[in-house]
């Protein structure tokens, strides 16, 4: 990563703000250059906090950027999911969609893959067969 002047000034809907303020209090910021007003931001000094540019993509690289996962893949933390190959200590949570039980508690599984896909719960609740091997083509009501 490369350090960026955190006090670079932008103009927002509520007037001038710094790049640091554009983070809105979060730890990471992704900025897309929407080609509309090519005015260059002015730089100011800052001694309070530090900002780093961690990645940059352009041209066809932007194609893959218009949805949440692809945007997260650009960031230094990635998706922050436990399966990712990240440096030790990177923030990661288990965020898969399988659980060890049904509603209302939905206890998440700690190991991927495990538990049951969400889709199975409605079937079980409706009293359909729990034979997942043979049930694939026989559970349609």
Partner 1 sequence: MKTPPIVTQPEWEAAHQQLLVKEKELTRARDALAAERRRMPWLAVEKDYAFDGPEGKASMLGLFEGRRQLIVYRAFFEPGVYGWPDHACPGCSLVADQVAHVAHLNARDTTLAFVSRAPQPDIERVKARMGWSIPWYTMTDGFDADFGVDEWHGTNAFIRDGGRVFRTYFVNNRGDEVMGGTWSYLDITALGRQEEWEDSPDGYPQTPPYGWWRWHDEYGDAEPSKS
Binding site for partner 1 (CB under 8 A): 1-3, 52-53, 55-57, 60-61, 63-70, 76, 87-91, 97, 102-103, 106, 117-126, 132, 136-137, 139-140
| Smaller CB separation from partner 1, 39 or 91 | 91
| Smaller CB separation from partner 1, 17 or 123 | 123
| Smaller CB separation from partner 1, 32 or 69 | 69
Q: How far is the CB of 73 from partner 1 (least distance, A)?
A: 9
Q: How far is the CB of 25 from partner 1 (least distance, A)?
A: 19
DSSP codes of every residue in the chain:
-EEE-TT-EEEETTEEEEHHHHTTT-S-------TT--PPPPP----S--EEE-----GGGGGGGSSHHHHHHHSSSTT-BTTS---TT---B---SEESS-TTT-PBPSSSS-SEETHHHHHHHTT----HHHHTTT---
Q: 64: Cβ–Cβ under 8 A, 6 or more apart, which residues?
A: 70
| Smaller CB separation from partner 1, 16 or 41 | 41
Q: How far is the CB of 23 from partner 1 (least distance, A)?
A: 17
| Smaller CB separation from partner 1, 44 or 125 | 125
Q: Which residues pair with 81 in a beta bridge?
A: 93
């Amino acid at each position: 990563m490369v350090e960026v002047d955190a006090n670079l000034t932008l103009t927002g809907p509520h007037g001038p703000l710094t790049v640091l303020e554009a983070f809105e209090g979060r730890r990471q910021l992704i900025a897309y250059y929407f080609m509309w007003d090519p005015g260059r931001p002015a730089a100011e000094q800052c001694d309070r906090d530090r900002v780093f540019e961690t990645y940059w993509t352009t041209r066809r690289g932007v194609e893959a950027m218009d949805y949440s996962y692809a945007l997260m893949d650009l960031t230094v933390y990635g998706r922050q999911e436990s399966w990712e190959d990240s440096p030790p200590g990177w923030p990661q949570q288990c965020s898969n969609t399988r659980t060890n039980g049904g509603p209302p508690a939905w206890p998440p599984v700690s190991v991927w893959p495990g538990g049951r896909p969400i889709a199975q719960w409605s079937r079980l609740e409706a009293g359909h067969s729990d034979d997942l091997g043979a049930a694939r083509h026989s559970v349609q009501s």
